Amino acid sequence: MCPSVNIEETSIVSSILEIINSAILLVNADGQIVVANSKAAKMFGVPREKLEGNLLSGLFMPDDRAIFLPNILKITAQAGEYEGEGMLLRPDGTTFIALIATSAWNYGQGTGTVFTLHDVTGFKELERVLRSSERMAFLGRMLDDISHQIRNPVLAIGGFARRLSNMECPKPEYVDVILEESGRLEQLLATLSDFLGLPRPELAMVPIKDLFDRMIREIQPIAREKGIKLETAFAPELEGQRALADQNIFPRAFQPVFINACEAYDMADTKGRVEIRAVTPEKEPFTCVIEIRDYGMGIRPGMLPHIFDPFFTTKTGHIGMGLTFAKRIQEEQEGGIRIDSTMGKGTTVFLSLMGERRRPIRTNPAQDSTDPD
């Protein structure tokens, strides 16, 4: 028990706190835990005496002790309360996600803080399961589409194969159809296997300029092959900035978008030109937007709602999975993808990248209430 706090008062408070069905910690102005109720002891897996008298900072992750915890205490002192989520650390080294609510506590010798804690790890796991269920539902819908896509080539192959079996001299054009449809089926299944086997991104904060330069290098051969004039621009304010991405997987979202832009000129009379720009977004939470713009035929308005659907394509001989790949990768990178298109004027695809995921309270020291705006 901390000697700066009246023992009788804390004894009364401790008795009251045992009635509350929440983990409660009373922390004095020096950051010491003065009182911990039995719910807090159970949450952290130690007797109450192992909590009382120790510094509260020992229950926070090492990365959060310099900024996050001081911010909580400062905001509580200034506003009287705080509420948010954070990762807490048990003495045995295990961690859990807690909903943290605080209130200012005036105890005579100073102003302390009352911490009310709830373990929400289970709720977070439930959120993860729900996201996984949504993904499985998407895969189920895609498998329905697959059966439809496979049915036509299989019927063609079977029909012509049966005709050939009844002929002494097979017709070459029948053989050509079989080979063409077999090839399309193999391509379809290979694309499906690639999509289902796509690894989840390993996210890291990477320099935007390095990521942008790498993508431009990788698509230059494609531009030369397709006879496309490539124009690039990188916003100066993005120099030195970082974004959340997987440098090895993000190009798999970028390249099909660029190829689509190149192929937008297949039926057009204008010379092929594709612009790629890295710019700052108009609003949070994104830190960077990469724009891929062509001046080709554009997309008919009725098709826009379906462009991310598996196997949706208007091009002969295409599978129609490029934008499906891009959308999945962007979602799993916590990024965004959006398309604007006008018939006869062209299409622009916006690939947005997330910046710092951690809330400002974990990364930026809180300002005093007397500080100027």
Determine the pLDDT at residue 263: 87
Say whether 16 sits in a helix, a strand or coil. helix
**How is domain 121-197 classified at the architecture level of CATH?**
Orthogonal Bundle (1.10)
233: left (phi over 0), alpha (psi -120 to 50) or beta: beta
- In the predicted model, is pLDDT for residue 90 greater than 90? yes
User: How far apart are the C-alpha atoms of 92 and 37, rounded to whole Å?
Assistant: 19
Determine the pLDDT at residue 206: 92
Residues 6+ apart with CB under 8 A from 363: 67, 356
Determine the pLDDT at residue 187: 74
What percentage of the chain reaches a pLDDT higher than 70?
79
- In the predicted model, is pLDDT for residue 363 greater than 90? no
Determine which of 105-119, 161-175, 225-239, 251-265 has the lowest per-residue pLDDT on average: 161-175
pLDDT tier for residue 7 given thresholds of 50, 70 and 90 = very low
User: How far apart are the C-alpha atoms of 133 and 139, rounded to whole Å?
Assistant: 10
CATH 3.30.565.10 in the chain is located at 201-364
Nearest to 265 by CA among 292, 227, 211: 227
For the four alpha carbons of 147, 148, 149 and 155, in that order, the dihedral sign comes to positive
Residue, of 373 and 318, whose pLDDT is higher: 318
**What is the average pLDDT score of the chain?**
82
pTM of the full structure = 0.57
User: How far apart are the C-alpha atoms of 352 and 329, rounded to whole Å?
Assistant: 11
Residue whose tokens read 């996984």: 132
The string of pLDDT tens digits covering residues 40-74 is: 999 999 998 899 999 999 999 998 999 999 999 99
Structure tokens at 272: 């092929």
CB distance 222 to 255 below 8 Å: yes
Nearest to 313 by CA among 302, 301, 303, 328: 303
- In the predicted model, is pLDDT for residue 311 greater than 80? no
Say whether 225 sits in a helix, a strand or coil. helix
Residues 6+ apart with CB under 8 A from 16: none
CB distance 325 to 309 below 8 Å: no
Determine the pLDDT at residue 154: 72
Is 284 buried (19+), middle (13-18) or exposed (0-12) by CB count in 10 A? exposed
- In the predicted model, is pLDDT for residue 276 greater than 80? yes
User: How far apart are the C-alpha atoms of 79 and 102, rounded to whole Å?
Assistant: 10
Determine the pLDDT at residue 171: 67
Superfamily of domain 201-364: Histidine kinase-like ATPase, C-terminal domain (3.30.565.10)
Farthest-apart Cα atoms in the chain, separation: 106
The residues that bridge with 342 in the sheet, in sequence order, are 346
Q: Give the CA distances from residue 243 to residues 119, 155, 282, in Å, rounded to whole numbers and listed in that order.
A: 30, 48, 16
User: How far apart are the C-alpha atoms of 268 and 273, rounded to whole Å?
Assistant: 12
CATH 3.30.450.20 in the chain is located at 7-119
Dihedral in degrees, nearest 10, Cα atoms 312, 318, 324, 327: -110
Determine the pLDDT at residue 139: 66
Determine the pLDDT at residue 213: 94
Q: Give the count of beta carbons closer than 10 Å to the beta carbon of residue 97.
A: 17
What is the layout of strands, in order, in the sheet containing 23-27?
33-36, 23-27, 111-119, 95-106, 81-89
- In the predicted model, is pLDDT for residue 216 greater than 80? yes
- In the predicted model, is pLDDT for residue 110 greater than 80? no
Determine which of 25-29, 281-285, 340-344, 363-367 has the lowest per-residue pLDDT on average: 363-367
Determine which of 50-59, 164-173, 296-305, 353-362 has the lowest per-residue pLDDT on average: 164-173
Structure tokens at 3: 């000697």
Which of 53-62, 125-134, 191-200, 322-331 ranks highest by mean pLDDT? 53-62
Determine the pLDDT at residue 137: 65
Residue, of 14 and 177, whose pLDDT is higher: 177
For the four alpha carbons of 343, 345, 257 and 154, in that order, the dihedral sign comes to positive
User: How far apart are the C-alpha atoms of 238 and 286, rounded to whole Å?
Assistant: 12
Which of 110-119, 142-151, 174-183 ranks highest by mean pLDDT? 110-119
pLDDT tier for residue 373 given thresholds of 50, 70 and 90 = very low
Determine the pLDDT at residue 143: 65
Pairing label, strands 286-294, 242-245: unpaired
**Right CATH number for 7-119 from 3.40.50.2000, 3.50.50.60, 3.30.450.20, 1.10.3720.10?**
3.30.450.20
Determine the pLDDT at residue 278: 95
Residue, of 43 and 361, whose pLDDT is higher: 43
Say whether 309 sits in a helix, a strand or coil. coil
